[in-house]
Structure 1
């Protein structure tokens, strides 16, 4: 019964992945696009990529970017899901509708809105901050010309766009926990933090594991917000692995090296996913045995 799904995955993901692996071992340049022939270089592309100081800086930046995005998403998502369980029904419906609208907005459209908000001359964010008179006159301030501010805005955009999925998933999972468990804990004198630690987190651990893996994959592969807002600039200071692979392949016409960067990204995510899922499974088994 799962054969159709397996075949579909092999066709949609298996073949492109194999083709990517083959391309990463070839000296595939503009000439190869016309001739269809490329010299086999083995691990030469990987050696060149790992020997590039810019690649190491991009790798560190990608890890930091991913960690910050995932940490903010999980913390804010948990807080928002907890808020949804305690508000009035009408407030819960309004909040859920707003979250769904944010989630349903295409990433390109959301990124363009974000870009307009922080436009130097006419951006509403600059206008509002100037009116508040906290940071001085920011009416002509260009956020995206400063690397740290630009990367911070990209992180905020990524978190804002991904927050509905995390919050609504945790809210749905939280609704499956019996209130009798919390009532029994309160009768035993447990406080909010104790019930959160000993009831909520253990029961939601499988959901948290899946969300963490998914958000790590999506954050590390984030391309649209970075490309639309900064195209990896200024001076490459907002470039991540996904953007670097695109620039290497399509701007420098070095398709083999671009493919090798993409393969490195896939391997990093695969190793993390396997390690994290196995660790969560071991913890679940130890908890079940105990």
Structure 2
């Protein structure tokens, strides 16, 4: 066998191929994976699982909201309610009458002022108590936490009954203490004859019921502040105020803003506290927007006007709700 025949009989040696660069296109005939990503099997399962909750929320909230919007453009009275007849359409007459009524704007101003005082006191006292909990011993902090949760879980009717007893004109503890400490005869003093004093009692009830949530939430945020940063600031000569302003506050600010926004929404819609403290018959001087809407709808039997006031309240709070959602998105809780 010649050398040429020997070379032809041996198979050619495999030539090592250089690895393809990521930018190099694959050879012809190679399947490509650059198409749209395939939906994983079962990706729709979470949507089917929450579908019953969505249907329930739509039935409880969406349908009544649509009916309320329709009713606000009608003139529904007691006759239409009992007979079932379709109320006459009046267009924007209900809204025009409400916005032109000076009493409505007095109620709006009263509601905003009441909300601002409640939110300011709630957030200030809540923040101070949360800071105090950071400096308490473990067992004292546990006792305080249990007390806050117990106050938070107390039914509103029970809490209102306690505050009615505290402010009672004949047997109230507040009048008794003032008479003993100040030496003045406060026995028989009615706190609700003066709306300013009456709203002071109502504000105390609202703040008392809201503080536990604020304290627990802000305390959880304070535990996330790095201790080493506070210690480093203290070693650099920063005061307690400076440490809180430049180290602690930037960490807890997102949580503080969200809790404040929630407090604004809750205190703007206060209804039960005023209703119970005034014996289910609140005077016009104690009406906030929720009570004003209820009074127009059921006391004056102008259901459409009461519904229109409620929808105006929703519009007034929509900006606060949008701001709250934006804060949630910034903190990554909503994707």
Q: What is the rounded CA distance, in whole Å, between the counterparts of 2:199 and 2:229 in structure 1? A: 43
Count of residues in Structure 1 that have an aligned counterpart in Structure 2:
282
Which residue in the other structure is 1:120 paired with? 169
- Structure number with greater CO (CA < 8 Å, separation at least 6) is 1
Equivalent residue runs for 1:98-117 within 5 Å: 98-117=147-166
Query: For 1:118 and 1:201, how far apart are their aligned partners in 2?
Result: 37
2:61 pairs with 1:13: yes
User: Are 2:143 and 1:80 aligned?
Assistant: no
The Cα offsets for residues 214-271 of structure 1, whole Å up to 9 and x where unpaired, read as 111110111011111125744x212100110111111111110101111111111111
Which secondary structure state, in structure 1, belongs to the residue aligned with residue 192 of structure 2?
A: helix
How far off its partner does 1:281 sit?
6.9
Aligned to 2:300: 252
Aligned partner of 1:55 among 92, 104, 110: 104
Structure 1 runs of 4+ off > 3 angstroms? Answer: 5-8, 231-234, 275-282
Rounded to whole Å, the distance in 2 between the matches of 1:203 and 1:8 is 37
Aligned to 1:64: 113
1:217/1:232 CA distance change after superposition, 3 Å:
farther
Instruction: Mark the CA change 1:205 to 1:247 in structure 2 (over 3 Å): closer, same or farther.
Output: same
CA contact (8 A) 2:73 2:304 kept: yes
Inter-CA distance 191–208: structure 2 relative to 1 (3 Å threshold):
same
Distance 2:308 2:74 in 1: 10
Q: Is the 8 A contact 1:232 1:240 kept in 2?
A: no
Aligned position for 1:288? none
Is 1:223 aligned to residue 271 of structure 2?
A: yes
Task: List alignment gaps of at least 5 residues for structure 2.
Answer: 1-45
SS in structure 2 opposite 1:177? Answer: coil
Q: Secondary structure at the match of 1:75?
A: helix
Question: What whole-Å deviation, never above 9, does each CA across 1:12-49 have from its counterpart, x for those lacking one?
Answer: 22222222211211101101112222111121111111
1:34-87, Cα deviation, whole Å (9 max, x unpaired)? 222211112111111111111110000000001111111111110000001101
For the 8 Å contact 1:26–1:41, the answer to whether it is kept is: yes
CA distance in 1 between counterparts of 2:54 and 2:255 reads 24
Tell whether the 8 Å contact from 1:209 to 1:277 is kept in structure 2 after alignment. Answer: no
Q: How does 1:1-290 map to 2 (within 5 A)?
A: 1=46, 3-4=50-51, 5-36=53-84, 37-134=86-183, 136-230=184-278, 233-234=282-283, 236-275=284-323, 278=326
Structure with more of its chain in helix, by fraction: 1
Aligned counterparts of 1:92 and 1:204: Cα–Cα separation in 2: 20
CA separation in 2, counterparts of 1:178 and 1:211? 21
Q: Secondary structure at the match of 1:140?
A: coil
- Normalised to the residue count of structure 1, the TM-score between the two structures is 0.91
Q: Would you say the 8 A contact 1:232–1:239 is kept in 2? A: no
Aligned partners of 2:274 and 2:286 also within 8 Å: yes
Give the TM-score normalised by the residue count of structure 2: 0.79
Q: 1:95, CA displacement in angstroms? A: 1.2
1:221–1:242 Cα contact (<8 Å) kept: yes
CA distance in 1, matches of 2:65, 2:88: 20
